[in-house]
């Protein structure tokens, strides 16, 4: 009973935070747009409902597009969940996605295999590279006490420039106008699940499988238990005999592997050559998703869907109205601030706690009266 | 190639450019120092720099006065610092997450705000004219000293302010009651609170000061360094400043020296990228790699020192 009420409170608080963030977005839309209502319509229902000649219909292709956009962010969201659960603010997901995508692309171009395993191998290589990159901030933290936050932020830039160097100087297809690699072999490309132009590939199912895997890891294995306990109380975990250093490294390497897979699947699924020229932004979106999911892997797809939906809405707003798509950053920042605020609506929570306590007391009084008779 | 490089470095202009490039990093690093002294990690420096850089240009364009632009940028920095404080201290959003949110506002929100206020996309090219840039000054006596004059004189006003602030902030931290409170709150909030210091109030003040300093850094970037605002302008300087703070052992003077080191790395990057046959991308890595190496060396030396102290301590007394 008590738990149910608190759970209800958490739901209300989450919803209030999201509504507040959308409210902030709405204010900015009204400030900047000449046709705010049309812009709002595109933002809120545009992604799934297409309106032609006054008739609204469900936009199936739009739905597929949203699911497709979730593929990389589910992976980065899971990665952040695992790393933040152990209280490690590693923010290198961004760079790892780019590096993972790049090595997967190279493996797709220069390794010749004629089976469907080609794509799997490419993604595995991306996973290994991702894990190796994340070893750097993790080991520096555990061995030397260097802040994983600062080193991981710097690593993002390092990954980006190293990838750009190799892309421009070693692997560029000079016959093309823009800088890109040669196309991947057909066997390395990840196929789509549905007809039409959307990029909803089999990667989506892989992403969902990883949601289940990471949830199992975090809640059903001793490694996951250690990761979560170290996040809650590192000193206690150490005292009770857990290998704190090893677990911190493990959580970040898992984060790297997940981010690398995300980058690899995204590049092999969405494109036919590697053409990113800057950090793709999935790492930061992953942080937002992990916050929304409260570090619970099972909630990651839901959060990823929400962000992909908003993102699509913002893009539509920018295409058809006069509101820049960067609106998404303002809404995301507001979600961040309110959703992660422990004391947000704390007065309301206090009331629930008081009410529960009164109810308990009344019940106890009733029982003791009953006993006296 | 190496002799070519040495030729360009062995000139007064190079050292002049080191100082120029150091200034914005130094502003933000001092901001990191104050916040960290009060026990709050301000990872939002990057975003604060971006946003105040934009408003510096806007304010100076609207009023046609560079001074108003700089002060406006500082004010925006203060407001952002207080906003982080409101969420982190009052609503208990994790301070790191509050900082990340400010950085999101810095990267995307600025593009939105620029469009909202001016209808421009991505940069403020058309708004900037020489009369609203931060002016440079020649220092009377020093400018006549042969080599030193070429290096130290002729910088922007804010460059001198940055180095002056190193001393002012040291004074603030070590010679004023507020500074004592800031350090007390950072070292042991419970003890500070038990003698009647309002921890929350001190941390608000520290975040506001930290925001003001990052605001100066932002104004320097857009109103002098790159002469206009563009979306990729700050390029991790706020993050580098955090590293400078850590490497400088959290002290203003230490932060100055590590900022100079990163300034040197950045200046080197500009020089090397002008040479033939060098990958501009690998050269771009220099400041970030130097930052990581700096952190590693600093952390390793700290561990060694701690071990030495432990070893020196007689048995049974630990």
User: In chain B, which residue's Cα lies nearest the Cα of A314?
Assistant: B112
- Give the whole-angstrom CA distance, residue B281 versus residue A219: 43
Q: Does residue B282 belong to the interface with chain A, where contact is any CB pair within 8 Å?
A: yes
Q: What is the pLDDT of residue A372?
A: 54
Distance from CA of B294 to the nearest CA of A (A): 10
Q: Does residue A19 belong to the interface with chain B, where contact is any CB pair within 8 Å?
A: no
- Give the whole-angstrom CA distance, residue A288 versus residue A225: 23
Which tokens in the block code for residue A297?
């892997």
Burial pattern A309-338, b for ≥16 Cβ within 10 A else e, equals bbbbbbbbbbeebbbbbbbbbbbbbbbbbb
Residue A3's pLDDT band, with cuts at 50, 70 and 90, is: low
Kindly state the helix (H) or strand (E) to which residue A111 belongs, with its residue range: none
Reply yes or no on whether the pLDDT at B235 is more than 90: no
Cβ–Cβ below 8 Å for A157 and B302: no
Name every chain A residue with its beta carbon within 8 A of the beta carbon of B239.
150, 153-154
- Give the whole-angstrom CA distance, residue B17 versus residue B24: 12
Return the residue matching tokens 């009651």: B177
Q: What is the pLDDT of residue A1?
A: 46
Reply yes or no on whether the pLDDT at B317 is more than 60: no
Give the closest of B91, B104, B303 to A333, CB-based: B104
Give the closest of B105, B239, B279 to A150, CB-based: B239
Reply yes or no on whether the pLDDT at B228 is more than 80: yes
Name every chain A residue with its beta carbon within 8 A of the beta carbon of B243.
150, 154
Name every chain B residue with its beta carbon within 8 A of the beta carbon of A350.
none
- Between A180 and A250, name the one with better pLDDT: A250
Residues A163-175 have a mean pLDDT of 86
Name every chain A residue with its beta carbon within 8 A of the beta carbon of B41.
149
- Give the whole-angstrom CA distance, residue B248 versus residue B256: 7
Reply yes or no on whether the pLDDT at A163 is more than 70: yes
Give the closest of B112, B243, B285 to A150, CB-based: B243
A254-268, A286-300, B80-94, B142-156 — which is least confidently predicted?
B142-156
Reply yes or no on whether the pLDDT at A75 is more than 90: yes
- Between B57 and A32, name the one with better pLDDT: B57
Reply yes or no on whether the pLDDT at A299 is more than 50: yes
C-beta separation of B104 from B114 below 8 A: no
A95-99, A155-159, B151-155 — which is least confidently predicted?
B151-155
SS3 assignment, position B233: coil
Angle at which helix B95-104 crosses helix B45-63, to 10 degrees, equals 40
Name every chain B residue with its beta carbon within 8 A of the beta carbon of A31.
116
Residues A255-272 have a mean pLDDT of 92
Reply yes or no on whether the pLDDT at A42 is more than 60: yes
Residues A155-161 have a mean pLDDT of 92
Residue B318's pLDDT band, with cuts at 50, 70 and 90, is: very low
Give the closest of A168, A324, A342 to B115, CB-based: A324
Distance from CA of B136 to the nearest CA of A (A): 32
C-beta separation of B219 from B73 below 8 A: yes
A270-274, A355-359, B168-172, B199-203 — which is least confidently predicted?
A355-359
Distance from CA of B108 to the nearest CA of A (A): 5
A253-267, B88-102, B149-163 — which is least confidently predicted?
B149-163
Q: What is the pLDDT of residues B53-70, one digit of tens each?
A: 999 999 998 888 889 999
User: In chain B, which residue's Cα lies nearest the Cα of A162?
Assistant: B282
Q: Does residue B50 belong to the interface with chain A, where contact is any CB pair within 8 Å?
A: no
Cβ–Cβ below 8 Å for A329 and B109: yes
Distance from CA of B193 to the nearest CA of A (A): 20
Torsion sign, CA atoms B312, B314, B316, B317: negative
Q: What is the pLDDT of residues B179-227, one digit of tens each?
A: 999 999 988 888 888 888 889 999 999 999 999 999 999 999 998 888 8
Reply yes or no on whether the pLDDT at A242 is more than 80: yes
Cβ–Cβ below 8 Å for A154 and B240: yes
Name every chain A residue with its beta carbon within 8 A of the beta carbon of B98.
336-337
Q: What is the pLDDT of residues A84-106, one digit of tens each?
A: 999 888 999 999 999 999 999 99
Q: Which residues pair with B119 in a beta bridge?
A: none
Q: What is the pLDDT of residues B274-302, one digit of tens each?
A: 777 777 788 888 888 888 888 888 888 77
Cα–chain center distance at B289: 18
- Give the whole-angstrom CA distance, residue A219 versus residue A216: 5
User: In chain B, which residue's Cα lies nearest the Cα of A154?
Assistant: B288
**Average pLDDT taken over every residue of chain B:** 86
Q: Does residue A168 belong to the interface with chain B, where contact is any CB pair within 8 Å?
A: yes
Q: What is the pLDDT of residue A273?
A: 87
Residues B39-64 have a mean pLDDT of 91
C-beta separation of A265 from A127 below 8 A: no
pTM of the model: 0.87
Residue B1's pLDDT band, with cuts at 50, 70 and 90, is: low
Torsion sign, CA atoms B47, A158, A141, A214: positive
Distance from CA of A163 to the nearest CA of B (A): 9
Q: What is the pLDDT of residue A297?
A: 92
Residues B263-269 have a mean pLDDT of 86
| Ranges A338-342, A361-365, B191-195, most confident | B191-195
Q: What is the pLDDT of residue B307?
A: 80
DSSP letters spanning A242-258: --HHHHHHHHHHHHHHH
Residue B2's pLDDT band, with cuts at 50, 70 and 90, is: low
Q: How many CA atoms lie within 13 A of A2 on its CB side?
A: 8
A96 CB contacts (<8 Å, ≥6 apart)? A129, A130, A133, A134, A159, A256, A259, A260, A263, A283
- Give the whole-angstrom CA distance, residue B106 versus residue B103: 5
DSSP letters spanning B67-124: HHHHHHHHHHHHHHHHHHHIIIIIS---HHHHHHHHHHIIIIIHHHHHHHHHS--SB-
- Between B6 and A206, name the one with better pLDDT: A206
Burial class (CB in 10 A: 0-12, 13-18, 19+), B122: middle
Cβ–Cβ below 8 Å for B299 and A164: no
Distance from CA of B221 to the nearest CA of A (A): 19
A19 CB contacts (<8 Å, ≥6 apart)? none
Distance from CA of A356 to the nearest CA of B (A): 23
- Give the whole-angstrom CA distance, residue A237 versus residue A345: 32
Cβ–Cβ below 8 Å for B93 and A326: no
Kindly state the helix (H) or strand (E) to which residue A151 belongs, with its residue range: helix A148-169
Residues A7-23 have a mean pLDDT of 84
> Where are chain A's structural domains?
71-304
Name every chain B residue with its beta carbon within 8 A of the beta carbon of A145.
299, 302-303
Distance from CA of A58 to the nearest CA of B (A): 30
User: In chain A, which residue's Cα lies nearest the Cα of B284?
Assistant: A161
Give A 265-324 residues with CB within 8 A of chain B. 284, 287, 291, 324
Residue A53's pLDDT band, with cuts at 50, 70 and 90, is: low
> Where are chain B's structural domains?
20-256
Q: Which residues pair with A55 in a beta bridge?
A: A52
Name every chain B residue with its beta carbon within 8 A of the beta carbon of A336.
93, 97-98, 100-101, 104
Cβ–Cβ below 8 Å for B242 and A337: no
Q: What is the pLDDT of residue A370?
A: 66
Torsion sign, CA atoms A82, A88, A91, A92: negative
Which tokens in the block code for residue A42?
């595109």
Give the closest of B90, B105, B243 to A333, CB-based: B105
User: In chain A, which residue's Cα lies nearest the Cα of B304?
Assistant: A144
- Give the whole-angstrom CA distance, residue A330 versus residue B102: 9
């Amino acid at each position: 009973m008590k738990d149910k009420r608190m759970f209800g409170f958490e739901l209300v608080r989450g919803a209030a935070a999201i509504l507040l963030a959308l409210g902030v977005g709405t204010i900015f839309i009204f400030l900047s747009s000449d046709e705010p209502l049309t812009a709002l319509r595109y933002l809120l229902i545009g992604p799934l409902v297409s309106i032609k000649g006054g008739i609204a219909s469900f936009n199936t292709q739009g739905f597929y597009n949203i699911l497709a956009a979730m593929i990389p962010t589910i992976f980065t969201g899971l990665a952040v969940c695992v790393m933040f659960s152990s209280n490690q603010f590693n923010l290198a997901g961004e760079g790892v996605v780019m590096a993972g995508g790049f090595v997967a692309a190279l493996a797709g171009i220069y390794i010749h295999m004629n089976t469907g395993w080609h794509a799997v191998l490419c993604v595995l290589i991306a996973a290994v590279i991702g894990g190796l990159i994340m070893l750097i901030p993790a080991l520096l933290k555990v061995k030397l006490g260097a802040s994983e936050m600062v080193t991981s932020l710097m690593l993002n830039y390092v990954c980006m420039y190293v990838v750009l160097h190799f892309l421009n100087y070693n692997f560029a297809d000079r016959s093309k106008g823009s800088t890109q690699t040669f196309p991947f072999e057909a066997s390395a490309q990840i196929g789509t699940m549905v007809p039409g132009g959307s990029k909803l590939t089999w990667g989506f199912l892989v992403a969902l499988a990883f949601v289940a895997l990471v949830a199992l890891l975090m809640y059903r294995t001793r490694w996951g238990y250690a990761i979560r306990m170290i996040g809650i109380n590192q000193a206690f975990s150490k005292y009770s005999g857990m290998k704190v250093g090893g677990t911190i490294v493990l959580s970040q390497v898992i984060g790297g592997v997940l981010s690398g897979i995300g980058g690899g699947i995204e590049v092999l699924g969405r494109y036919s050559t590697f053409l990113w020229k800057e950090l793709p932004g999935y790492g930061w979106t992953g942080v937002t998703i992990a916050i929304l999911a409260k570090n619970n892997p099972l909630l990651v797809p839901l959060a990823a869907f929400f962000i992909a939906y908003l993102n699509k809405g913002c893009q539509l707003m920018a295409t058809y109205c006069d509101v820049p798509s960067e609106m998404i950053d303002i809404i995301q920042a507001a979600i961040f601030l309110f959703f992660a605020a422990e004391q947000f609506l704390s007065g309301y929570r206090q009331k629930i706690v008081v009410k529960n306590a009164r109810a308990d007391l009344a019940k106890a009084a009733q029982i003791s009266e009953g006993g006296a008779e | 190639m190496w002799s070519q490089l040495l030729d360009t470095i062995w000139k007064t202009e190079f050292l002049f450019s080191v100082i120029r490039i150091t200034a914005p990093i130094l502003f933000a690093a001092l901001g990191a120092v104050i916040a960290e002294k009060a026990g709050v990690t301000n990872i939002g420096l990057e975003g604060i720099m971006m946003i105040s850089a934009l408003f510096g240009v806007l304010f100076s364009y609207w009023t046609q006065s560079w001074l108003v632009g700089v002060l406006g940028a500082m004010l925006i920095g203060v407001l952002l610092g207080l906003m982080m404080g409101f969420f982190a201290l009052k609503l208990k959003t994790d301070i790191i997450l509050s900082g990340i949110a400010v950085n999101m506002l810095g990267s995307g929100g600025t593009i939105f705000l620029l469009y909202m206020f001016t209808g421009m996309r991505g940069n403020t090219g058309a708004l900037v004219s020489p009369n609203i840039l931060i002016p440079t000054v020649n220092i009377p006596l020093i400018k006549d000293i042969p080599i030193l004059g070429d290096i130290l004189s002729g910088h922007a006003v804010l460059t001198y302010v940055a180095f002056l602030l190193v001393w002012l902030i040291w004074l603030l931290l070590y010679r004023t009651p507020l500074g004592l409170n800031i350090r007390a709150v950072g070292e042991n909030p419970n003890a500070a609170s038990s003698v009647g210091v309002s921890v929350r109030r001190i941390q608000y003040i520290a975040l506001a000061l930290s925001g003001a300093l990052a605001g100066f850094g932002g104004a320097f970037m857009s109103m002098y360094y790159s002469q206009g605002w563009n979306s990729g302008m700050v390029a991790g300087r706020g993050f580098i400043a955090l590293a400078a703070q850590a490497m400088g052992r959290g002290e203003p003077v230490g932060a100055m020296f590590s900022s100079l080191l990163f300034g040197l790395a950045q200046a080197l990057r500009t020089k090397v990228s002008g040479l033939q046959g060098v990958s501009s991308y690998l050269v771009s890595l220099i400041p970030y790699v130097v930052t990581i190496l700096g952190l590693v060396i600093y952390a390793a030396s700290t561990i060694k020192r701690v071990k030495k102290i432990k070893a020196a301590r007689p048995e049974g007394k630990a």
